[in-house]
Chains A and B, each alone.
Chain A
Amino acid sequence: MSRAWVAALLFVALVTPVAREALERVMVAHMLVQIPLLAIAGALGATALPSLLKSRVARWNRSGLSGTLLALIASTWWMVPRSLDWALASPLMESAKFVTLPLLVGAPLALSWSSLGTMGRGFVIANVLPMWAVVGWAYIAAPVRVCNYYLVDQQVITGVALIAVSVALGAATALPSFAGRPRSG
């Protein structure tokens, strides 16, 4: 099956009321399953774009700079607890989530990542992962509920999961540089 189909199927599956209800009922699933999967659907879709279109876009995205910026800013929006509550309270915000995560986070990141270069990728990873860990820690340490639609124990679970994901991705990125033989030269 082509990537375009996988992307489309994934997106349609996420939009279904069953999946929305199941993933949004629990904070950790909302933040760490639904939101990343929406971005992944966008990323898969973008890689399936015709190469002519990709090269047109690339003219505005030298070294992946503007695309990465777009993905970082748009993903920051969905890291704010108010946004999660907002998506649950307002159908407009909920729709915005389903549009912006694929189009403004997943797709630009996929179109930028390979042209970012090692330094650029390292810079993004070294900034984003600690930010997730800090947000996770804040969720655990917060003296109040940060989301009105989620229980306080779910907030703690989400915080722990954010830190775990951050550490796991950090390790997965860093360990290959220390272990084994260099791939070339």
Chain B
Amino acid sequence: MVRSNEWVRTGIASLAICVAGGALLWRGTDGFRALTSEAARRRAIAESPRAVPVVELEDQDGLPFTLADYRGQPVVVDFIYTGCGAVCPLLSDGFRRLDRAEQAVPRSDDRRRLQLVSVTFDSLDTPARLREYASHYQADGRSWRFARVRNARDLAPLLRSFGIIVISDGRGGFQHNSAVHVLDRQGRLARLLDVGATPNEVARAAAGTGQ
């Protein structure tokens, strides 16, 4: 009698553990679809676009601007540093393809043109270095701009709002998560695409994030 009683209790406990544990695992991994924090970041942003702080940037020519200046226009942003030998060249190659493809499209309204902004998180990247980097990628510096924050203290909040985590690689460089960040027409961070996203994918994401 006692024995079977204990089995019943064990059964109840096991069931409760499976239900509660399964539910927590499900919640904690967005239904087993986000096993990494990067996947979770993408899902969270796609589900609810988030505002990004209006931070003063300066481009490769030292001209001041903010991402809010692009409101109403499709714009993609990435985070790079010019000394990067790992993922940034891939990001920048992808941005060059996007920029070229965009220039090849005739548009009656320039406000509908895709704009690209590459923001550096390395304090060593001066406008001069950004200019050199831009010319390496044959960017005109207008439809595709390279920027750094004007005030160093703005960098951390900017990176945090985008969900970019930069860690030192111990050799003077950095490792960082990377994506093509699509802003919607209200200037909110609305979608993340893979490095090397095609012009079609970007166009679809930018359209999907419309009004």
Interface residues of chain A, those whose CB is within 8 Å of chain B, are 58-63, 65-66, 69-70, 73-74, 76-77, 80-83, 85-86, 89, 144-152
Total residues of chain B contacting the partner, CB 8 A: 29
Q: Are B36 and A82 in contact (CB under 8 A)?
A: yes
Return chain A residues, CB-CB under 8 Å to B35: 80-82, 146
CB-based A-B contact count at 8 angstroms: 80
The residue in B24, B37, B38, B169 that gathers the most chain A C-beta atoms within 10 A of its C-beta is: B37
Return chain B residues, CB-CB under 8 Å to A74: 21
**CB < 8 Å: which of A65, A76, A86, A145 contacts B10?**
A65
Shortest distance from the beta carbon of B40 to any chain A beta carbon, whole Å = 6
Shortest distance from the beta carbon of B181 to any chain A beta carbon, whole Å = 15
Shortest distance from the beta carbon of B25 to any chain A beta carbon, whole Å = 6
Query: Quick one: which of B153-174 are within 8 Å of A by CB?
Result: 165, 167, 169-170
Further pairs besides A70-B17, A73-B17: 17, Cβ < 8 Å = A60-B9, A60-B10, A66-B13, A69-B17, A69-B18, A69-B21, A73-B21, A76-B25, A77-B24, A77-B25, A82-B40, A144-B38, A145-B38, A145-B177, A151-B170, A151-B175, A152-B175
Interface of B is mostly: helix
Interface CB pairs A-B, < 8 A, 20: A58-B6, A59-B5, A59-B6, A60-B9, A62-B6, A62-B10, A65-B10, A66-B14, A69-B14, A73-B17, A73-B22, A74-B21, A82-B35, A82-B40, A86-B37, A146-B36, A148-B36, A148-B37, A149-B167, A151-B175
> With A62-B9, A65-B10, A82-B34 in contact, do A148 and B165 touch (Cβ < 8 Å)?
yes
* Chain A residue at minimal CB-CB distance from B169: A151
Return chain B residues, CB-CB under 8 Å to A83: 28
Q: Are B37 and A81 in contact (CB under 8 A)?
A: yes
Binary per-residue interface labels of chain B (5-48) against chain A in the complex, 1 for a CB within 8 Å, 0 otherwise:
11101101110011001101100110000111111100000000
Interface residues of chain B, those whose CB is within 8 Å of chain A, are 5-7, 9-10, 12-14, 17-18, 21-22, 24-25, 28-29, 34-40, 165, 167, 169-170, 175, 177
Return chain B residues, CB-CB under 8 Å to A82: 28-29, 34-37, 39-40
Return chain A residues, CB-CB under 8 Å to B36: 81-82, 85, 144, 146-148
> With A73-B18, A77-B25, A81-B35 in contact, do A148 and B10 touch (Cβ < 8 Å)?
no
Q: Are B28 and A80 in contact (CB under 8 A)?
A: yes
Return chain B residues, CB-CB under 8 Å to A85: 36-37
Return chain B residues, CB-CB under 8 Å to A146: 35-36
Would you list the 9 A-B pairs with minimal beta carbon distance, nearest first?
A73-B21, A62-B10, A66-B13, A85-B37, A148-B165, A66-B14, A60-B13, A60-B9, A62-B6
Q: Are A148 and B38 in contact (CB under 8 A)?
A: yes
**CB < 8 Å: which of B24, B25, B165 contacts A149?**
B165
Q: How far is the CA of A146 from the CA of B175 in the complex (A)?
A: 12
Shortest distance from the beta carbon of B134 to any chain A beta carbon, whole Å = 27
Shortest distance from the beta carbon of B78 to any chain A beta carbon, whole Å = 16
Q: Are B38 and A61 in contact (CB under 8 A)?
A: no
